[in-house]
Structure 1
């Protein structure tokens, strides 16, 4: 019998006893194993893989495969996508994929639930920019985990966690071209992107450049009805519509570079460096400049002196640097991140000529006798400049230092410092520049402790109950000390049902940009005046407000998730959120009479006529905000043509990151994910049993511990062998058998059984001199070798083990019942490895020709139960579900999000639909809005009718056609008489409307 151990089995860094037992089960009892280690030299891609020692008739090979890079947690993923499922989304980049998963990755909390937390291979990163341009073909698995998991990585549990597990080896050069235009015309947008990505085990390099440009869209291209006062009484004056923009002209260029390298040593590590440059220029038009000319009697006539529009020109340049270091030190997984950025911005705003309002007069006097208009000189322009700097660093340490009766105590400690500053100056005000800065020294701790456990037989009748605690402190240079804490309970009464409750209390200071951004004026903006019921053109003021206060947020979340076996798999979720916050920072509300009475200094009106002239929409502080909502979600996943090649199972034996994990190319060979020593090992006998098909216990084991079948007799024999050795002798053997890579050989004499341990286990046993410490080995043996420990370990292993491999006539069949050969020949393996380098470049689009297709659908429904705001302690209170509004409108009581599609034989279709129910604000009625978008894409390399037996030049080529807002829907707004106010014309609400896009993507 030969027991073969793959060192990537282990994902738990702190499960000393359980990990050692699994290691013991992999001791080579008869002959030296040729298992790879983290330090082993890479096998050239062109060389055949070593088939290992010849098998004999009595040999039993047990190969265990861990789910490398997965997040170790008791919380089950909300969704988990394998390679074929990722391909079914037809995304062009990870950023595009994240956008399509917005319903699943977005938090349902009303506040503080923005973009999810991102991880790569279960490790922290410096920023999303680090890998956002990776092609989806480079991903092996995507895990979306609930908010509570964020606590284990040093974040507040109010954002979901999105973990990307990358392929071991992947290389691509990508070129993408895109064009889009509204079906109503008037605007053209273009995109060009080029990128280079290489993944070679722990080494990753990505360089990407992108340009996006959009032309100007003006009011005359949408037949906008002009507001009174915007058209001159003189027939010869030009129409102002061509001189007011609905969408700005914009040009944006980005350049990103990322390099990541593995660090040597027994525990390994990862160092990532990234840099980016982002340049954006925009131009918008604010109509024509008019001048009021008065005679001596005070009479005036509105005249347009020229047809030069008022422009606003903005440009912004952002420079970014980032780094992330992940390293194991002793019992701890350490992560250090650093980010630095500088943003230089400048906005030029054309001045109006003097005398352009009824309050001002042109000093030129009456009209000349010959009727010639007096000359008014060009007023020039004002300039607002800003410079924002940000530097942040954070150190986190995750560990499992204690083994409680019900399981391991998971801890996280973090400390960090950040510095932000913003300096702005505006030529309109003539005063000193605004100069704000903030230093933030922070620290935090979190604990996740199992209270009951079925696996450990601790109050097993209650199921699995886990307590989480977290606390943090921030010392801000401008706001003083802010604190936060959270407490949560997760209960799993049965395997497929998870219940959770979380309480968060946090103090938060407004960002510097909200406090100190330069003040910008936008002229001639159509505004509906609720006080008079009239439509008018007003000046809108935006920018920072230095008088904002710190906010106190209090959240409750109750959630339930049920995993079902419908179709391929199905998950149902229901969540309840309640938020109560004080001193909240809000955008300036819709200017109803109630709001105007509460903020009279924010409104400027003509003293004589009462006409609305200007609104200051800078942020304000509300005394209190309260909200409650329910959110329901359904995620469905299925397969198409399950009788296709591969039995309808995804590459890698049906499990993301499974035994092979490679992405199938168009000829059926694996590509893009050849195994390497640090991440995954090739299958030796048969595909590893899929945790997804092993029942609940197997699923939990495969997701957290790796999934090695447990044999009690084998464990007893190996335990006896290990426990019979003296600590010094066992330490010496471990030092000999686990020598560093490059020493040549396997560290054992001929015929001696080799005991190889994973790097993290060795790190726990090593002393300060880097050698395995006999004293630590002795402590480990004391815990492992007692009868009580043995019985306890057996219970743990049985509880987490997937089903053993099939025997007899079923041995050659995977879980779905389709026959497979039990073992590849060395010749076949050599062909696969030899072809891997050429195949991995560009890929084929994610699925092999003739293989099974995938379909999926998700529906999320939100019901607002309460949403109100107390403007000040003395009132008024705004009920946003009953006639009041913040920002541009009220709050929809019902919201539905749908995302679904299929992908088979290289052809895919995606459909997205969103619905918001209607509401009323004062005397205006806002109808409900439903928007539907569709995208079709085709992988040309999989179309044999086009390419023949070989894809040729079409390899890695995909074209897509999409239509957003298919029905050209816009929210309809009517007043009490059923008329549409001019400020709420549909083309003003959404000037772009239906957009058609064409995209060509080529991977080399």
Structure 2
């Protein structure tokens, strides 16, 4: 029978729509006619081959990155690439490899980007087919079928006092379904102290030289000193000459009401000294004809050392002391330099193992993943000094003991440091199956079943103030989830075609955590594509969250001399900060409504626009205590300790449950990938591989490419509502209106933009970040935070692709890059009601590093 015009048109359309290698917008593949279904007369059904590595279902990527787009980011590995893609993917996307679940992102994070054929960023509803919740975007990394390279990279960074060095080595071999990857990473960074940024460090009245305060009812030091000053004197800095000889009362006149504030900046680190080492291996291969197996192992250790300022002591100098000219007893606030800074040290070692199996059985795809993690963490913090012997000599009026002079090591002793040790284990296993259970006129009913178990345990021991504490906590979790997707309308199947493509999905899950209870999760969603370039989605979730074991079992750690802004007094003061777990935490519940739209306005260009809105309410959410305001202190009076003069001396920041939270967010993002320069001529390759050079191309000369690629992205997140009710019956905190929570205000707007460009072996990546200003309202003062704009620039050159270097084959596969973070050294400005910047809110405190320059050389061996 001779095909009709309609049949010939269908054939032509199918051929044009068939995906081509390197094509920006591959069309959907047409599946064969369902079994038992007879094609209409005179209609020819064309079956196009399915793209390699596609995800389950027929979802079209929101954004696709081919080799050219990936090259524009100049990333050294897959982990860096994923970080650069956060404006499109969010903070924690689901990561797939070749359309399959993996045991963890560590399986691919150290792979070189050259091993990637393409990256597809897919809508959140795709996560349902893999046993995840529909609140995360999906990133599918499709690897090359054949790839082999050994990559070495060395990087150096400097930023005015802090040096960083990094070295990494990776060996990757891919042969179809077999993959082997070995990696080694080492990094170190020097400490950066406050004095190197010109900061004295918030130490209150405790200064190495010392400050005198009165002990009388009105706080007056001495009526005679007040008479000399012409006003009541309650504070006076100790003159430098007092360290070597007794002084007269008149010698304190110059420092009356002018306490010493030299601080302890050179004894306090803004950024710690760090060192890290990591080893990893991943091996994948088919073990049966339809079953692929992946095994990965990784060991990492990290060490850090910090300084928290000088230990302090509050001493009493009696009247009649040979070194005191005062008529009454006075208080001396003194920082003790004898043993140097209070130090904090931490050592963490982590071993991780993962196993993944995936295959198919009949029309069902299945995946089994299992992982085991073991972590050992040791933390040690100096607790201060015991100055009782020094104080006793001063109280006795010992003429050989000058309270203002150097303190002999025999008169003070370093107390035993606080030390905690934690051993934790986590074993997780999940099975996910996806397949079709029925056939409707609009398509197949897809169902995903997921079941998993997890066992977590933590054992910690701590020694604080000479007392030993031990904590053991374990938790076993069992969970099941079922998802069903129902097609309602379909253009392809001519079912309610005027509606376009419409589907509904429903998910129910149940999770039980030993010693805590059970949680039930329900998700309802719909996806509608009224016209091909537009897709609309809506999801409503009602989920219960069980507190993680870390929030319940972490050991209690106390750190002295931590600067905290006290809104009650309007001062930044050094306090003892208490951190750790809270075993009494309750489960939380969260309701979320999400609406999103995706538009591809140009059918022949890789341009995408996303719009999303979310509204959530949470009950009993667990979190750290907010800022020190009168309202917070009234609700949690036992978490804040003040001395007799009302100064804050201790803050307990262990997590608590809050009554209710409410957030609303609106965001949009734009992505565009466009070729630039002369398109390739007949017989020439694109920028994916080598091509003949042509004079006049950008970069010029033999071997240069004439075609490049520019990738542009822009995203805006607008916070419409952000409130927290700490306890029922108490007015909620409105963070966007300035209510204090934590150390900074909440920005209402955040904009992220990026422009990436490659051509002729040269590349540039420019990233811009902007956030709007904010306020914090407190009891004694308000704080105004300025807006902040930062610019990061990365320049890189693939030397082997530069024509002028073609005569040096040893440069092949060599890349040089220069990265400038915070190019203009921008920092947020903070002002109180008087226009001054409070201690602890200087720009270098909020962003210690500032501008940093990193140089790296990367070589494929």
User: Normalized against structure 1, the TM-score is what?
Assistant: 0.72
| 1:356 Cα deviation from its structure 2 partner | 8.5
CA 1:316/1:353 → structure 2, altered by over 3 Å: closer, same or farther? same
Change (3 A) 1:648 1:65: farther
2:859 alignment partner in structure 1: 1002
The alignment status of 1:624 with 2:624, answered yes or no, reads: no
Gaps of 5+ in 2: 1-10, 40-45, 211-237, 244-261, 320-328, 694-702
Partner secondary structure for residue 288 of structure 2: coil
**Match for 2:789 among 923, 930, 939?**
930
Query: Residue in 1 aligned with 2:105?
Result: 128
The corresponding residue for 1:306 is 338
SS at match of 2:311: strand
Structure with the bigger percentage of helix = 1
Q: 1:856 to 1:420 in 2, by over 3 A?
A: same
Distance 1:447-1:64 versus aligned 2 partners, 3 A rule: closer
TM-superposed CA distance for 1:367, in Å, is 4.7
Contact 2:624-2:656 at 8 Å conserved across structures? yes
Q: Aligned partners of 2:56, 2:722: CA distance in 1, in Å? A: 36
Secondary structure of the corresponding residue to residue 553 of structure 1: strand
CA distance in 2, matches of 1:68, 1:446: 25
1:14: Cα distance to partner? 13
Partner of 2:574, secondary structure, is strand
Instruction: Indicate whether 1:501 and 2:538 are aligned.
Output: yes
| 1:371 aligns with one of 381, 401, 409 | 401
How many angstroms apart in 1 are the aligned matches of 2:411 and 2:662?
Answer: 57
Q: Which structure: greater strand fraction?
A: 2
Deviation at 1:219, TM superposition (A): 1.1
Extract unaligned runs of 5+ from structure 1: 24-61, 107-113, 652-662, 669-847
Give the secondary-structure state (helix, strand or coil) at the position aligned to 2:742: coil
Task: Spell out the pairing of 1:269-348 with structure 2 (5 A cutoff).
Answer: 269-294=291-316, 299-303=330-334, 304=336, 306-348=338-380
Q: Deviations over 1:438-464 (max 9, x none)?
A: 100111110111111111111111111
C-alpha distance 493-96 of structure 1, shift in aligned 2 (>3 A): same
> Does the 8 Å contact 2:747/2:774 carry over to 1?
yes
Question: Closer, same or farther in 2 for the Cα pair 1:181/1:356, shift >3 Å?
Answer: farther
Equivalent of 1:351, from 383, 387, 390? 383
Cα contact 1:13–1:400 (8 A) shared by 2: no
Distance 1:555 1:667 in 2: 55
1:558 to 595, 605, 626: 595
Which of 797, 806, 826 matches 1:947?
806
Whether 1:399 aligns to 2:376 is: no
Say whether the 8 Å CA contact 2:538–2:594 is kept in structure 1. yes
CA deviation vs aligned residue, 1:274-318 (integer Å, no higher than 9, x gap)? 100010000000112233343567644344250421111100000
Residue pairs, 1:444-843, within 5 angstroms: 444-565=481-602, 568-606=605-643, 608-645=644-681, 663-665=688-690
Q: 1:501 to 1:362 in 2, by over 3 A?
A: farther
What SS does the corresponding residue of 2:380 show, helix, strand or coil?
strand
Contact in 2 for aligned 1:90/1:908 (Cα 8 Å): yes
Give the CA deviation at 1:649.
8.0
Whole-Å separation in 2 of the counterparts to 1:547 and 1:887 = 22
- How much does 1:569 deviate? 2.4
Task: Give the equivalent residue in structure 2 for 1:244.
Answer: 268
- Tell me, yes or no, if the aligned pair for 1:138 and 1:167 is still in contact at 8 Å: yes
Report the alpha carbon displacement of residue 371 of structure 1 after superposing the two structures with TM.
2.7
Pair 363,521 (structure 1): closer, same or farther in 2 beyond 3 Å:
farther
2:685 and 2:691 in contact (8 A); partners too: no
Contact 1:622-1:871 within 8 A present in 2 as well:
yes
Q: Does structure 1 retain, via aligned residues, the 8 Å contact 2:28–2:60?
A: no
How far is the alpha carbon of 1:65 from its aligned partner?
A: 4.5
Are the equivalent residues in 2 in contact too, given 1:567–1:637 (CA < 8 A)?
Answer: no
Alpha-carbon shift at residue 11 of structure 1 (Å): 13
Does structure 1 conserve the Cα–Cα contact (< 8 Å) formed by 2:145 and 2:175? yes
Task: Give distance in 1, aligned partners of 2:395 and 2:611.
Answer: 71
Post-superposition Cα deviations, 1:72-107, rounded to whole Å, max 9, x if no partner, equal: 33433220011111111111100010000010010x
Select which of 394, 419, 424 maps to 2:455: 419
Match of 2:326 in 1: none
Cα offset, 1:404, TM superposition: 1.3
The answer to which of 590-599 and 236-245 deviates more is 236-245
Q: Which residue of 2 aligns with 1:967?
A: 824
- Cα distance between partner residues in 2 of 1:275 and 1:213: 23
1:440 aligns with 2:465: no
Equivalent position of 2:723 in the other structure: 868
Q: 1:258 is matched with which residue?
A: 282
The residue number in structure 2 matching 1:162 is 139
* Equivalent residue number for residue 410 of structure 1: 446
Is 1:67 the counterpart of 2:51? The answer is: yes
Q: Structure 1 pair 87/328, CA: closer, same or farther in 2 (3 Å)?
A: same
Distance in 1 of aligned mates of 2:618 and 2:143: 40
Asked if the contact 2:162–2:191 (Cα under 8 Å) also holds between the matched residues in 1, the reply is: yes
Distance 1:432 1:497, change over 3 A: same
CA distance in 2, matches of 1:14, 1:389: 47
Q: CA distance change for structure 1 residues 453 and 226 in 2, over 3 Å: closer, same or farther? A: closer
Is 1:147 equivalent to 2:124 in the alignment?
A: yes
Q: The residue matched to 1:91 in structure 2 has which SS?
A: coil
Residue pair 2:692, 2:705 contacting (<8 A) in 1 also? no
| SS state at 2:590 partner | strand
Distance 2:445 2:572 in 1: 63
For 1:437 and 1:11, locate their aligned partners in 2 and report how far apart those are by CA, in whole Å.
Answer: 50
| 2:195 aligned residue | 220
Classify 1:269/1:976 alpha carbon distance in 2 versus 1 (closer, same or farther; 3 Å): same
8 Å contact kept, 2:28–2:58: no
Indicate whether 1:229 and 2:205 are aligned.
yes
Cα 1:475–1:15 shift into 2, 3 Å:
farther
Instruction: Determine if contact 2:195/2:266 at 8 Å carries over to the other structure.
Output: yes
Query: For residues 187 and 81 of structure 2, what CA distance do their matches in structure 1 show?
Result: 19
- 1:189 corresponds, among 161, 164, 168, to 164
Mapped contact 1:289–1:356 kept (Cα < 8 A): no
Select between 885-894 and 240-249 the one with higher mean Cα deviation.
Answer: 885-894
| Aligned counterpart in structure 2 of residue 105 of structure 1, from 63, 75, 89 | 89
Matched, 1:80 2:64: yes
Query: Between Structure 1 and Structure 2, how many residues are aligned?
Result: 757
TM superposition shift of 1:904: 0.8
